Every structure is written in C-alpha cells, then in structure tokens.
Chains A and B, each alone.
Chain A
Amino acid sequence: MSLITVKNLNFEYPKKRVLKDISFEIKQGSVTALVGPNGAGKTTLLRCLTSLETPLSGHVIVNGIDVHDKPRKAHQHMGYLSDFFGVYKNLSVRQCLTYMAWSQKVPVEGLEQKITDLAKEIDIEKFLDEKAGSLSRGYKQRLGVGLALVHGPECLFLDEPASGMDPEARIKFSELMLRLKNKGMTIIVSSHILAELEDYCTDMIVLRDGEIKSHVILSEHQAAQSMTIQIALQSVKKEYEKVIAAHEGVSEIRTSQNGVVVAFKGDQKAQGAFLKHLVDEGLPVYQFIVTQKTLKDAYMDLAEVKEMHAQ
C-alpha cells in the first residue's frame, strides 16, 4: 500500500528547472534511499515532498492528503530533518522536545512520559536536562530526529542525516534507523554516503539532473543480479567444478586457494538448494559465503555512473 504518491512534480528556481516531471510511489514501511550526485535535486525534492517549497506543478499526496493544498494537515503525518538544522541552544533537551510536541498539538496529558519514552528511543535520555547547545554533533542529530518524531508521524524525511558524524555516532544512528524501520516507519533518506544506507534501506531512488533514473526495491534488484558465493572446500578436485557448473543459476566459476568462487543468480531458496546439491554430491564443503551486491554496486548499475566514469 502506497503512503506517498508523487505525480508529475515540476519545480524550478528562476530560469532553472530543478525537478522534471517526477512521479513515484513509496510503500508504507519502506526505507528509501534517495541518492544522486550533487545538484541532482535531492534536497529540493525532499522540501517539495514536505511542502517546504511550492512546486511549479504536480501533486504530492501523503496519507491521502495533498501536501500543497493542506500543508499543516499533511505535516501531522510527517517529520523532516534538514541537512543544516539547528536546535534552540538555550533550551534544555526536554524543553526542546516539549516545545515541539506542543507545536505539533500533541495532547498535553501524558506528554511528560511520552517525552521520556522518546528520549529513551533516540538514546538521549541522560541529557534530557542538559542545554541543547552543549550536545555533541551525534547527540544533536539524535535530538533532531526526536524533534521530527515527537508527534508520532507515519513517515520521516531525512536530508543527509549522518554528515559530519564520527564513525561511532554513525553506527548509533544506523541502529536508530533500524529500530524505526522495524517499528514500521516509512522513511526517505538522502545521503552521499551509500555505505551508511546499506543497513536499513529497502528501496532506492536514483535522481540525476532533476529526473528519476530508477526506483528499485533493493531485494528484488539484488535477486535479479548475480551475486558472489565463496565455497570453501577441504580439498579441491577438477571434477568438483563440473558438479558446481551443472547447477542452475551458476554462471562463472573461478578456483581459489581453498575452494571455488562462483557467480550465482537466485533468491535465498535457490541458494539453499545449491548448497544442498553440493553436499548431496559429496563435495567437502566447510564454508558457504554469499556476498550480495552492495547499495553502491546497485547505484553504479542503475545510475549510469559507469558510463560517466568511462567518459
């Protein structure tokens, strides 16, 4: 079921069209990576989706509400964290969250408990009474997410959320995203750093020159692409290669020091069947390592980046 529907969205700055006839749908519960080079229109697209900018034409429907016809009503269903967001430095974390909850018309009854629960969720509980201005970059980012989530929106839009974070903060942030994903939140996140999206994204939209180059469900894309399987064998014999090559889905075989590496196409069930086939045929398998294509690989496949690099 689609939570977000974008139809024929066009946006332009004076004398420059930034988004060109963009249409797509986002399923409820998906986490979509919005990727593309600098100037592709990622931030503008997110700002149009959240009704922070008015497009030239087109419609954005979130949970059945046209966000440009009823922006305030639509905002009840969404949270947004911009790439350069700020916090009220002289207010405590608790005051920041409380103010935002009031601003989002969250019922006052039970609000204190809700704020405490949210602080636990975003792992900022111990700083609740600290001034927001005294927080480190990573905790400030978590507070930012908290401010975007305080009214319990169905979808969350994040623009370059992990930029400027140290590795530890990034890991913590990824964990937070995973928790939100597991709770069923629909998230659209734009980032340059594809590796950080790897852990939690289910879909990917590639944007280039204001146009959508592709919109894929990553699991389907990965299943359609060949993956690498390293099969470690106690002993390597020539006839093993024939047994392996005979199985459906295997396209390439390369012998390595302690076994073989094969290019394989198939879903998890097919992988299981392949392993069973090897064992049934008596191959001395002691390791079976499947290496999926990464988000970066998928991006390179989809974004015509290879073509550009070749030029």
Chain B
Amino acid sequence: MIIVNPEFHRYLWLKFSPFRLIVMPIVLGLVLYIASNTDDLVVDVWQASLFIPALYTFFVVVFLWGGYEAASASNSDVGMNTWDFQKMSALGPWDIVIGKLFGSTSYTWYAGLLLLGVILFSYPHLEAIGEMAELKHAFPSAISLVMYLVFAGVMGHATAFLFGTQNLRQKKSGAGIPFILGFIVSSTVFSLTIGGDLDARNINSSETVSWHIWEVSSYNAIIGSLVFFLFWIIIAIQRNIREELQFRNSPIALIAFLVTFSLYVTGFLDNFNIQNRVEFDEMITIKCIFAFFIISFGTYFTVFMEAASLAKYRRWIYALKEKEWKRVFENTPGWAGALLVLTPLYLVANVGTEFYFDEGFPGEAADLSIFALTTAILLFTARDGLMFHSILLGRVEKHKGFLLILYFVMAYGLLPFFVASTIDNMDISGTVYDDTMFNALLYFYPLGGDSFITGCLPVLGQVIIAFVVFRVAMSGLKAKDAN
C-alpha cells in the first residue's frame, strides 16, 4: 500500500464513506434538475439549461463550503488538542500544507468535479443562452473555463487556510474570519470574470496585454496572475507551518516575494507607455521607482506585523552577541531583509532619475523630486516603525491595540486635519494658500515636495523624536524571572 500523504489519507477516512459517496451525486442531480426547470433558466437546448445552475452550485459547494473546510483545517487540530502530535511527527511542512489544503476540501472537490463534468457537458451548447455566448470569447475552450474555476477555487481555499494558519500561530481556534477572507478572495476572482451578470466582460481571449517585453492574451494574463498569487499564498502557508514546527524562517522568502511582486506589477506599466514614448532604459528607471514604492510598502507592513515579536528580537540580539551567525540569519526580522532590497533600489531609482530625467519627468510629474519623495518614504517608515515598537514592545502593558489605533488616527487623521482647518481659516488664497497647505502636509504624509529641505527635514525631526520615545520605552525592558 502506498501512502502518498498521511494527512490527506486521514481526511479521506473522515470525509468519505460509501453513504457520502452515493448521496452527493443524488443531491446534486436533484438540485440541477429543479434549478434547470425554473422558468428563468429553461431554454430550448436542455443541455445548456444545466450550465448556470451547475456554475452557481459549484460556487456554493466549492467556494463557500470548501472555503469553510479549508479555514477550519488547521484550527480544528488546535481545538481538538491534536496539533502537538502532528508537530511531533515526521511530517514535513509541505506534507502538512498539501495534506490539509486538499484533504480538508476533498469532499467538496468530489462534488466540484461532478459539477465541472456537467459544465464541460453543457459548454458546447452555450449559444442557446444568448448572454452566455460572450463567455465563449473569454474562455475559448471548455477546458480553459474549468481550469479557471479550479484555480479560483484552490485560491480561495488557500487564502482561507493561510489566515487559518495565522490564527494557529496565535493559538486561536476560530475559523470565521479566515473563512470570510478566503471567500472574499475567491468570490472576487469569480466576479472579476464570470460572476455577476456572467458577461465575462473583463477578459477576452483575443485581446492582449503588455507585460514587460511580452504581449500576452488577457486570459493567459489572468491565469498567470492566479498562478503567481496562488504560488505565494501557498509559500506563505508553508512558512507559517514551518514556524509552527519550530523550523527557523529566514527573511529569504519575504525578499523573494517582494522582488517577484515588484516584477509582476511593474510589468504592467508597459501598457501605459503608449507608442513607446519612453525609452527602454528610461522605462527601467520608472519601474525601479515603482518597485521602490512597492517594496517600501512591504517593509512598512512587515515592520508593523513584526513589531510585537519580542521573543524573536531577543533571539536575534542574543545570537548577535554570541556571534552565532547562522542563528543571526535565521532570526533576522523580515523588515531588515526587505531593507536589503530597498536600499539598492533607492540608489538605482535616484541615480537613474538624475541620469535620465535630469530635466524632470514628462507630464504632470515634472516637478516631482524623486530623491525627496523616496527619502521621505524611508523616513516615515522609520518614524512609524519606531513608534510601533515603542507601543507594542514598550513598558505599557495594556491597551496596546487601542494605543496603536490612536497613533494612526492622530498621525494620519486628526493632526493633519487640524492643521488643514487652521490654514483654511487663515486669510490667504491662490498659490500662497496652495503652497502653505502643501508644505504643511509634508509634515504628515510622504509627499516628497520639491527638495530635500522641504520634503524631508520636517519628518527627520519626527524620526529623532520617535527615536527618543523608543529609547525611553525600551529602557528597563528586561525579562522578569518566573515566580
């Protein structure tokens, strides 16, 4: 007997029985029969009348039910106190990811495969339903439609499972929020193309999009995008499981994600380069600037997510003190890894701008100072990073979440609003008003301005204050002994 994946096999034991195998096709048959005979859906060709009921039943069974099963997959082990056994087993992170992701949803995929069979069967007769003809433009073959549905389903399941593993790390057993988030993703993917009024308006197999130097059909672009995001979602799940299994995660995966995600997004910038007005070399600089924005957002998000990881910080600092370089690398925070990519991008973006756009950018961005803008973004990230750590790791024991929200509301809402209202009430107008307002807002948002002095000095002062706050918050922070 060959055991491909014990975790998957366990789910097969739990989810399948002769009764359940028989009852599902009967129930689906009844549902399709009743739905296809309702007045709205009856068409001349009976095979075609099965299409819409099969599609929406697939949506309910795979996206809704399957999403819930995937969201519960990891949490059920915490709830049943069986997680320690799995953590003590010889199952690797991939065994657990694949076993749980496809095992927990196996019964819904059984139903889903039956429904995909019906969809394949009715697809050739779609012309019988007038508005369905467009679907054939989007999906030139039945297989391409089926592939799309399968990817969308797995994507929703993987997202729900990913957020379930986030709960797992926090020792929570609820599946509600992971399920909702997974469902939002899968239903968004569904409605982007074939959901809603089923007109497949967003994709067309005959239209192409530019991606870097290539031209790809919109169908391939969407499938490619699904595969890209699915790949990274599954990698994220694997990293979470790895951490649960006490493997040490270095920031390599985060760096790889940020780099590939930047490549993915900036590839679509070529669609805006109408008639190739911007040269190839200049385009690379513009892409680097966009990549800088993307990776700096990733760095900011990572700083926020990791600010509470006191234990990991301590292990990192301890390993640094002991000069255990392997452990230093393994415990390096993700934001520090992201900075390794951000720094050369910052240099390339600024040098490229000086080299290719010394007379300014074309169009409305003519007065933009990339140096001031990129530096301001870095400084705002540093300011908020210091404040996050001060709040989440500092001496204050309670209401950390509230303090964090208060900081955001004050820094990005109330204070700028107060300053803007004050300027509104001043007796100024025209360009003086515009300049005063813009210069004031440079204190609150990373807008860059036209030079380093106006764009960065205001926030540099705030970084210094945030650093002092950080030092005060961290002083005396030492683990108390057990008692």
**A interface vs B, CB < 8 Å?**
12-20, 39-41, 50-54, 56-57, 68, 71-72, 75-76, 78-80, 82, 84-91, 95, 99-100, 102-105, 108, 147-148, 151, 209-210
Extra A-B contacts (5), CB below 8 Å, given A56-B314, A95-B10: A14-B310, A17-B481, A85-B82, A99-B6, A210-B482
Within residues 240 to 262 of chain B, which ones have a CB less than 8 A from any CB in chain A?
245-248
On whether the beta carbons of A90 and B14 are closer than 8 Å, the reply is yes
Contacts of A95 in B (CB 8 A): 10, 13
- Name the contact of B246 in the complex, choosing from A68, A76, A209 (C-beta under 8 A): A68
On whether the beta carbons of A52 and B87 are closer than 8 Å, the reply is yes
Distance (whole angstroms) from the CB of B324 to the closest CB of chain A: 9
On whether the beta carbons of B482 and A18 are closer than 8 Å, the reply is yes
| Chain A minimum-CB-distance residue to B324 | A57
Within residues 272 to 324 of chain B, which ones have a CB less than 8 A from any CB in chain A?
310-311, 314-315, 318, 322
Whether B384 is near chain A, meaning CB under 8 Å from some CB there, is no
Whether B425 is near chain A, meaning CB under 8 Å from some CB there, is no
- Name the contact of A12 in the complex, choosing from B87, B92, B246, B314 (C-beta under 8 A): B314
On whether the beta carbons of B246 and A103 are closer than 8 Å, the reply is no
Contact A14 B311, CB 8 Å, known A104-B89, A108-B1, A209-B482: yes
On whether the beta carbons of B82 and A102 are closer than 8 Å, the reply is no
| Chain B minimum-CB-distance residue to A90 | B14
| Chain A minimum-CB-distance residue to B6 | A102
On whether the beta carbons of B85 and A100 are closer than 8 Å, the reply is yes
Task: Pick 12 A–B contacts, CB within 8 A, sort by A.
Answer: A15-B480, A16-B482, A17-B480, A56-B314, A82-B84, A84-B81, A86-B81, A99-B6, A103-B7, A103-B85, A103-B86, A209-B481
Contacts of B87 in A (CB 8 A): 52
Q: How far is it, in angstroms, between the C-alpha of A100 and the C-alpha of B84 when the chains are bound? A: 12
Contacts of B81 in A (CB 8 A): 82, 84-86
Distance (whole angstroms) from the CB of A183 to the closest CB of chain B: 20
On whether the beta carbons of A72 and B90 are closer than 8 Å, the reply is yes
Q: How far is it, in angstroms, between the C-alpha of A102 and the C-alpha of B450 when the chains are bound? A: 65
Q: How far is it, in angstroms, between the C-alpha of A148 and the C-alpha of B88 when the chains are bound? A: 9
Contacts of A87 in B (CB 8 A): 80, 82
Q: How far is it, in angstroms, between the C-alpha of A18 and the C-alpha of B480 when the chains are bound? A: 9
| Interface 0/1 of B80-123, CB less than 8 Å to A | 11101111111110000000000000000000000000000000
Interface centre among B246, B248, B318 (most CB of A within 10 A): B246
Distance (whole angstroms) from the CB of A38 to the closest CB of chain B: 11
Q: How far is it, in angstroms, between the C-alpha of A210 and the C-alpha of B480 when the chains are bound? A: 11
- Name the contact of B88 in the complex, choosing from A14, A18, A78 (C-beta under 8 A): A78
Q: Is the interface of A mostly helix, strand, loop or mixed?
A: loop
Q: How far is it, in angstroms, between the C-alpha of A19 and the C-alpha of B90 when the chains are bound? A: 27
On whether the beta carbons of A147 and B246 are closer than 8 Å, the reply is no
Q: How far is it, in angstroms, between the C-alpha of A79 and the C-alpha of B247 when the chains are bound? A: 18
Contacts of A72 in B (CB 8 A): 90, 92, 245
Q: How far is it, in angstroms, between the C-alpha of A82 and the C-alpha of B246 when the chains are bound? A: 17
- Name the contact of A71 in the complex, choosing from B1, B245, B310, B477 (C-beta under 8 A): B245
On whether the beta carbons of A53 and B246 are closer than 8 Å, the reply is yes
- Name the contact of B10 in the complex, choosing from A53, A75, A88, A209 (C-beta under 8 A): A88
What total count of A-B pairs have CB within 8 Å? Answer: 112
Distance (whole angstroms) from the CB of A262 to the closest CB of chain B: 42
On whether the beta carbons of B314 and A86 are closer than 8 Å, the reply is no
Contacts of B481 in A (CB 8 A): 16-17, 20, 209-210
Distance (whole angstroms) from the CB of A45 to the closest CB of chain B: 11
Whether B483 is near chain A, meaning CB under 8 Å from some CB there, is yes
| Chain A minimum-CB-distance residue to B85 | A147
Distance (whole angstroms) from the CB of B344 to the closest CB of chain A: 32
Which 5 A-B pairs give the minimum distances between C-beta atoms?
A86-B81, A102-B6, A103-B89, A86-B80, A210-B482
- Name the contact of A52 in the complex, choosing from B10, B13, B88 (C-beta under 8 A): B88
| Chain A minimum-CB-distance residue to B314 | A56
- Name the contact of B84 in the complex, choosing from A16, A52, A78, A91 (C-beta under 8 A): A52
Whether B9 is near chain A, meaning CB under 8 Å from some CB there, is yes
Q: How far is it, in angstroms, between the C-alpha of A205 and the C-alpha of B408 when the chains are bound? A: 50
Whether B3 is near chain A, meaning CB under 8 Å from some CB there, is yes
Whether B365 is near chain A, meaning CB under 8 Å from some CB there, is no
Distance (whole angstroms) from the CB of B376 to the closest CB of chain A: 33
Q: How far is it, in angstroms, between the C-alpha of A82 and the C-alpha of B80 when the chains are bound? A: 13
Distance (whole angstroms) from the CB of B136 to the closest CB of chain A: 45
Distance (whole angstroms) from the CB of A215 to the closest CB of chain B: 18
| Interface 0/1 of B464-482, CB less than 8 Å to A | 0000000000000101111
Contacts of B13 in A (CB 8 A): 91, 95, 99
Interface centre among A17, A68, A87, A102 (most CB of B within 10 A): A102
Contact A88 B7, CB 8 Å, known A15-B477, A16-B482: no
Contact A51 B246, CB 8 Å, known A15-B479, A102-B9: yes
Distance (whole angstroms) from the CB of A296 to the closest CB of chain B: 24
| Interface 0/1 of B441-483, CB less than 8 Å to A | 0000000000000000000000000000000000001011111
Contact A56 B88, CB 8 Å, known A86-B82, A88-B80, A102-B3: no
Contacts of A41 in B (CB 8 A): 482
On whether the beta carbons of A103 and B482 are closer than 8 Å, the reply is no
On whether the beta carbons of A85 and B85 are closer than 8 Å, the reply is yes
Q: How far is it, in angstroms, between the C-alpha of A94 and the C-alpha of B70 when the chains are bound? A: 26
On whether the beta carbons of B3 and A108 are closer than 8 Å, the reply is yes
Q: How far is it, in angstroms, between the C-alpha of A40 and the C-alpha of B318 when the chains are bound? A: 24
On whether the beta carbons of A17 and B482 are closer than 8 Å, the reply is yes
Contacts of A209 in B (CB 8 A): 481-483
Within residues 6 to 26 of chain B, which ones have a CB less than 8 A from any CB in chain A?
6-7, 9-10, 13-14
Contacts of B82 in A (CB 8 A): 85-88
- Name the contact of B90 in the complex, choosing from A39, A51, A103 (C-beta under 8 A): A103
Contacts of A40 in B (CB 8 A): 482
| Chain A minimum-CB-distance residue to B315 | A56
Q: How far is it, in angstroms, between the C-alpha of A36 and the C-alpha of B216 when the chains are bound? A: 67
On whether the beta carbons of A105 and B90 are closer than 8 Å, the reply is yes
Contacts of B315 in A (CB 8 A): 54, 56-57
